Amino acid sequence: MTETAVTGQKRDAEDAVHPFDEAIALDVVAEGWYVGRTHAAYANMVGPFGGVTAATMLRAVLDDPRRLGEALSLTVNYAGPVADGPFDILATPVRTNRSTQHWTITLTQDDVVTTTATAVFGVRRDTWSSTEVSMPAVPAADEVPVFKVPALVAWTRNYEMRYVEGALPDMDSEPQPDSTTTLWVRDFPARPLDVPALTALCDVFYPRVFRRRGTFVPAGTVSLTTYFHAGVEVVEEQSDQPILATARAADFGGGYFDQSARLWSGNGRLLATSHQLVYFKY
Amino acid sequence: MTETAVTGQKRDAEDAVHPFDEAIALDVVAEGWYVGRTHAAYANMVGPFGGVTAATMLRAVLDDPRRLGEALSLTVNYAGPVADGPFDILATPVRTNRSTQHWTITLTQDDVVTTTATAVFGVRRDTWSSTEVSMPAVPAADEVPVFKVPALVAWTRNYEMRYVEGALPDMDSEPQPDSTTTLWVRDFPARPLDVPALTALCDVFYPRVFRRRGTFVPAGTVSLTTYFHAGVEVVEEQSDQPILATARAADFGGGYFDQSARLWSGNGRLLATSHQLVYFKY
Query: Average of pLDDT values for B13-42?
Result: 94
Residue A125 and residue B255: Cβ atoms within 8 Å?
Answer: yes
Contact A254 B124 (CB under 8 A): yes
Touching A: B residues 222-281, CB under 8 Å: 222-223, 225, 227, 229, 231, 248-256, 258, 260, 262, 270, 273, 275, 277, 279-281
DSSP classification of residue B239: T
Q: Is the pLDDT of residue B7 over 80?
A: no
Mean pLDDT of A231-256: 98
Structural domain boundaries enclosing B194:
3-123+137-280
For A180-216, what is each residue's pLDDT tens digit? 999 999 999 999 999 999 999 999 999 999 999 999 9
Taking CB atoms and an 8 Å cutoff, what residues of chain A touch B132?
A: 178-179, 212, 248-252
Q: Residue A11 — very low, low, confident or very high, per pLDDT cuts 50/70/90?
A: very low
Compute the average pLDDT of residues B231-239: 98
The pLDDT of residue A267 is 93
Question: What pLDDT does residue A7 have?
Answer: 41
Higher pLDDT, B5 or A254: A254
Q: Do A253 and B120 touch (CB under 8 A)?
A: no
Q: A12: pLDDT confidence band, cut at 50, 70 and 90?
A: low
Q: How many domains does chain A have?
A: 1
* B88 interfaces chain A, CB cutoff of 8 Å: no
pLDDT tens across A140-190, in order?
Answer: 999 999 999 877 899 999 999 999 999 999 989 999 999 999 999 999 999
Minimum Cα–Cα distance from B126: chain A residue: A254
Task: List, as ranges, residues 111-150 from B with C-beta within 8 Å of A.
Answer: 112-114, 116-118, 120, 122-133
B129 assigned to some structural domain: no
pLDDT reported for residue B15: 67
Residues of A in contact with B108 (CB under 8 A): none
| B244-266 residue pLDDT tens | 999 999 999 999 999 999 999 99
Our CA-based measurement puts residue A134 at a distance from the nearest CA of chain B, in whole angstroms, of 9
Q: Which residue of B has its CA nearest to A249?
A: B132
CA distance B35 to B87: 6
Q: List the single best residue of A108, A116, A128 to mutate versus B (max B Cβ within 10 A).
A: A128
pLDDT for residue A233: 97
Q: Between A72, A212, A249, which is nearest B222 by CB?
A: A72
Any domain includes A180:
yes
Report whether B223 contacts B277 (CB < 8 A).
yes
pLDDT, residue B5, reads 39
* Cross-chain Cβ contact B127/A254 below 8 Å: yes
Would the pLDDT of A1 be above 60?
Answer: no
Residue B10 has pLDDT above 60, yes or no: no
Across the interface, whether the CB atoms of A124 and B273 are under 8 A apart is answered: no
- Burial of B131 by CB count in 10 Å (0-12 exposed, 13-18 middle, 19+ buried)? middle
The CA distance from A77 to A117, in Å, is 6
Distance from CA of B27 to the nearest CA of A (A): 24
Q: Which of A102, A253, A273 sits opposite B127 (nearest CB)?
A: A253
Percent of chain B with pLDDT over 70: 95
Kindly list the residues from chain A whose CB atom is less than 8 angstroms away from the CB atom of residue B95. Answer: 79-80, 112-114
Question: Is residue A102 within 8 Å of A93, Cβ to Cβ?
Answer: yes
* Cβ neighbours of B127 in A, within 8 Å: 252-255, 280-282
Confidence category of residue B121, pLDDT binned at 50, 70, 90: very high
Q: Which residues contact B35 (CB under 8 A, 6 or more apart)?
A: B26, B27, B29, B86, B87, B88, B89
Q: Which chain A residues are closer than 8 Å to B73 by Cβ? A: 77, 222-223, 277
How many A×B Cβ pairs under 8 Å?
A: 220
Q: Answer yes or no: do A225 and B129 touch at CB < 8 A.
A: no
Q: Could you tell me what percent of chain A has a pLDDT over 70?
A: 95
Residue range B219-235: mean pLDDT, rounded: 98
Q: What is the per-residue pLDDT for A15?
A: 67
Number of DSSP helices (H) and strands (E) in chain A, helices first: 6, 14
d(CA A262, CA B277): 15
Q: What pLDDT, on a 0 to 100 scale, did the predictor assign at position B12?
A: 53
User: Could you report the per-residue pLDDT of B89-111, keeping only the tens digit for each?
Assistant: 999 999 999 999 999 999 999 99
Residues of B in contact with A106 (CB under 8 A): 94
**% pLDDT > 90, chain A:** 91
Is position B132 within any domain?
A: no
Say whether pLDDT at A4 is over 80: no
Whether A19 is covered by a domain: the verdict is yes
Dump pLDDT digits (tens) for B191-218: 999 999 999 999 999 999 999 999 999 9
E-strand stretches of A97-134: 100-109, 112-122, 130-131
Please indicate, yes or no, if residue A62 is contained in any of the structural domains.
yes
Contact: B251, A222; criterion CB under 8 Å: no
Give CA–CA dist A276/A258, Å, rounded: 6
Residues 6+ apart with CB under 8 A from A234: A265, A269, A271
Q: What confidence tier does B152 reach under pLDDT thresholds 50, 70, 90?
A: confident
Does B112 reside within a domain?
Answer: yes
- Residues 34-73 in B contacting A (C-alpha not used; CB under 8 Å): 72-73
Are B229 and A253 inside 8 Å of each other by CB? yes
CB contacts, 8 Å: A104 with chain B: 104, 116
- The predicted structure's pLDDT at residue A151: 73
A231 contacts B258? CB cut-off 8 A: no
Max CA pair span of chain A: 64
Distances (CA, A) of A209 to A17, A221, A278: 35, 12, 9
Q: What is the SS3 assignment for A196?
A: helix
For the purposes of burial, counting CB atoms within 10 Å of the CB of A148, is it exposed (0-12), middle (13-18) or buried (19 or more)?
Answer: exposed
CATH number, position A219: 2.40.160.210
pLDDT higher than threshold 60 for residue B181: yes
Q: Is B118 within 8 Å of A122 when comparing Cβ atoms?
A: no
In a domain, A239, yes or no: yes
How far apart are the C-alpha atoms of A168 and A152, rounded to whole Å?
12
Q: Do A255 and B125 touch (CB under 8 A)?
A: yes
Give A14's pLDDT tier (boundaries 50, 70, 90). low
Task: Assess if residue B131 is contained within a domain.
Answer: no
